[in-house]
A = this chain, B = another copy of it.
């Protein structure tokens, strides 16, 4: 008799002690479980109890040490060895596993140099070096030097200008100071927007080169003691990363939309839209300080000033000339995705996909391996359940991606290569990336919000003993009480104040869900713990090491276990539900909120314009100006026309009604559907998120199909909701905004129509 069959009979039968205990514990819980009837919920909880017993922090610790023992960037021998190690493990745990190989453009540095030519010449070290207590920090033989992937290469000399975070508002501030970056080399600090935007915007403004450094105000001694005394970024630490223009498309720059198989049609490097034209280089704050110190010109505005012990100037009016040269090897490299499958017994063509990448920038202990070993632990535990005969209703796919760091490449190429199949079969994609001590976090498709909340309410927090959901709600409450609380935190606190669900923040980009969610329209989640670790301090540097994780990530591995519990439950419930555990009123609530926000943006523009016009008319800028530190008045904007939101108003109302009707029908009829109803429900729900996509995609970036969530063109990783409408408004492209109000409304209509159809199909007797 298989474990699964025993479970089917409930808890009365003499099972293993572990299972018995789990059953008796779960019997006390009357919490609802979406997708399950009370009976099946009880069985599921028993299963989850057994699952939990398999989880072992010390095992994850050993894997982490091994996987992070050598550099494991794309193309590194140890990265391939890690893929092969995992392949063997998955097989050992009873999974049907394989490695899928793609061939992608992946530049690696041949040479880099950075010199300040005057007034006090200085040559940047561009080197991180070993530190005491970090056993791998001296292992540089197979490591790549600090660099940013997909910058443009070049050998340039020019005056240096400090552009703060290098975001659009920073260029506006520089313009008011009379400073242009045309023909100059900019130095930007990390933060405020995604790294890749910095060289891209610099290039757009006419700069010939771009340096990016980590200011200690954001990432260094001002945030806490630096490694190895503390966990934060030491003076010589550098944040590597990709500057590929992933807001256009992610994955291999040469094969947008298709898998980068050996024989795929390829663009050339010159025609690939996502590769920059100017050279760029990331540097440490130790290297940045002499450069910034050399700058003259006006003092930098208050919000430009970091925590280096210098007076920040913007430059542009001095003798601080810089020579920057970067040269890369632009050959194709093979990448190795490890894919493991456990076939579902009832709906084998319904896939629930779980992923985490395995490539790092150097040793990648926290990013990504802290997440990857959790994924492995989940697979092991599920494998052990399977060895007792249990099988999920739906097929589980566990994937360890390669080449996430340079541009979400492993996952994107796999998603593109299997696009058709995935759009038919993939019910959901659950991602993680790194994991640390702290608070539970989940972002993603709102149809999965209830599932996530239920799982979080049953996952105990290692430090407080309450559920991770309750801990998170306590934190929202406290954070929202701050006078400087962010709007989303206040919304979350308000939503959870009376026991409500915590809302899922939307997904932008920055990890492997992008190909699934935004290109294919597969409902997706990104999960992990954080907020108490200090991963930020070593992010994408050589110091993201096993030793650092042991001290500042999750020393007890309790949060590694907690992530395995919560992500594992999400996977098990998605795979095992009587029906897929999806609910749609959270979607309609989110849509209503987003609509409110985009309308608010228009009002804010109008109010802002009026305010500015008033100040300009009163000459308030001229009168306040210090002639020895001149600052020009901002330029007035063209007036905001009337926008007609009625299409979205109507669509949002329809969606609200449809979601309520569907959720009610689902709740009433679950457990008493006939075979045909069940099959049609499976099909409906696995394709549901695609109802939010549009074949034409977003304006200017057709690869992005999702009309509700996208990475911002001007935020990079940060999400923009109702992106076509929101970004048009934010950039004051009013005609485009009006067009996409209608397009987005049409998409919502499609989605609502599917829900309406689903509701009647569920209720049909």
A residues in contact (CB < 8 Å) with B = 216, 221-222, 224-226, 230, 232, 299, 305, 307-311, 437-438, 463-464, 466, 470-471, 473-475, 477-479, 481, 532, 611, 615, 618-624, 626-629
Asked if A623 meets B230 with Cβ closer than 8 Å, knowing A222-B311, A311-B222, the reply is no
Q: Would you give the shortest CB distance from A609 to chain B, in whole angstroms? A: 13
Nearest Cβ distance between residue A427 and chain B, in whole angstroms?
A: 33
Q: Within the complex, what minimum Cβ distance (angstroms) separates A52 from chain B?
A: 22
Alpha-carbon distance A474/B471, docked complex (angstroms): 49
Other-chain contact of A225, B230, B232, B299, B478 (Cβ < 8 Å): B299
Please report the C-alpha to C-alpha distance between residue A305 and residue B223 in the assembled complex, in whole angstroms: 9
- Whether B299 contacts A478 by the Cβ 8 Å rule is no
Q: Which of chain B's residues have a CB closer than 8 A to the CB of A224? A: 299, 311
Chain B residues with CB below 8 A from A481, complex form: 611, 615, 620
The answer for the CA separation of A382 and B473 in the assembled complex, in Å, is 71
Alpha-carbon distance between A621 and B532 when the two chains are bound, in angstroms: 15
A224 vs B302: C-alpha distance in the bound complex, in angstroms? 10
Tell me whether A216 and B471 are in contact (CB under 8 A): no
Query: Nearest residue in B to A608 (C-beta to C-beta)?
Result: B481
In the assembled complex, which residues on chain B have CB atoms less than 8 Å from the CB atom of A225? Answer: 299, 311
* Chain B residue at smallest Cβ distance from A611: B481
A436–B691 alpha-carbon span in the complex (Å): 66
Q: Give complex CA distance A620, B476 in Å.
A: 8
Q: A474 contacts B222, CB within 8 Å?
A: no
A475-B620 in contact (CB<8A): yes
CA of A345 to CA of B22, assembled, Å: 102
Please give, as numbers and ranges, the residues of chain B lying within 8 Å of A626 by CB-CB distance: 437-438, 463, 532
Q: When the two chains form the complex, which single residue of B216, B230, B311, B464 contacts A221, counting CB atoms closer than 8 Å?
A: B311
Residues on B with beta carbons closer than 8 Å to the beta carbon of A477: 615, 618, 620
B532 contacts A478, CB within 8 Å? no
Q: Which residue of B lies closest to A226 (CB)?
A: B311
Known: A615-B477, A627-B463. A221 touches B622 (CB 8 A): no
Q: Report Cα–Cα, A221/B313, bound state, in Å.
A: 11
Known contacts being A222-B305, A481-B615, is A474 close to B624, with CB within 8 Å?
yes
- Residues in B neighbouring A221, C-beta threshold 8 A: 309-311
| Chain B residue contacts of A532, Cβ below 8 A | 626, 628-629
Nearest neighbor of A223 in chain B, beta-carbon distance = B311
Q: Are A474 and B619 in contact (CB under 8 A)?
A: yes
Please indicate the chain B residues that have their CB under 8 angstroms from the CB of A475 in the complex.
620, 623-624
A495 → chain B, closest Cβ, in Å?
15
Closest Cβ–Cβ distance, residue A471 to chain B (whole Å): 5
CB–CB B623/A471 < 8 A: yes
Q: Is the CB of B474 within 8 A of A618?
A: yes
Q: For A464, list chain B residues within 8 Å (CB).
A: 622-623
Contact A466 B623 (CB under 8 A): yes
Which of chain B's residues has its CB closest to A308's CB? Answer: B309
Of the listed residues A226, A618, A629, the one surrounded by the most CB atoms of chain B closer than 10 A to its CB is A618
23 residue pairs of the A-B complex, CB under 8 angstroms, read A221-B311, A222-B311, A224-B311, A225-B299, A225-B311, A230-B311, A307-B307, A307-B309, A309-B309, A463-B627, A464-B623, A471-B624, A474-B620, A475-B620, A475-B624, A477-B615, A478-B615, A478-B620, A478-B623, A478-B624, A479-B624, A481-B615, A481-B620
Q: Which residues of B contact A629 (CB under 8 A)?
A: 532
- Give Cα A225 to B297, complex, Å: 11
Q: Is the CB of B474 within 8 A of A623?
A: yes
Cα–Cα, bound, A728→B685 (Å): 64
Nearest CB of chain B from residue A35's CB, rounded to whole Å: 29
> For residue A463, which residues in chain B have a CB less than 8 angstroms away from its CB?
626-627
Not counting A308-B309, A464-B623, A478-B624, a sample of 13 additional A-B residue pairs whose C-beta atoms are within 8 angstroms of each other reads: A221-B310, A221-B311, A222-B305, A224-B311, A230-B311, A437-B628, A463-B626, A463-B627, A471-B624, A474-B624, A475-B620, A478-B620, A532-B626
Q: In the complex, which residues of chain B have a beta carbon less than 8 angstroms from the beta carbon of A621?
A: 478
A395 to chain B, nearest CB (A): 38
Most buried by B among A309, A481, A621: A309
Instruction: Tell me the bound Cα distance from A222 to B217 in angstroms.
Output: 12
Most buried by B among A463, A478, A481, A611: A478
A622 and B474 contacting across the interface, CB-CB below 8 Å: yes
Which residues of chain B are near A305, meaning CB under 8 Å?
Answer: 222
Nearest 7 A/B pairs, CB to CB: A474-B623, A478-B620, A309-B309, A477-B620, A475-B624, A474-B620, A478-B624
The answer for the CA separation of A602 and B586 in the assembled complex, in Å, is: 40
In the docked arrangement, what's the CA distance between A225 and B478, Å? 39
| Across-interface contacts of A311 in B (CB, < 8 A) | 221-222, 224-226, 230, 232
- Measured in the bound complex, the distance between the Cα atoms of B230 and A362 in whole Å is 43
> B611 to A309, Cβ gap below 8 A?
no
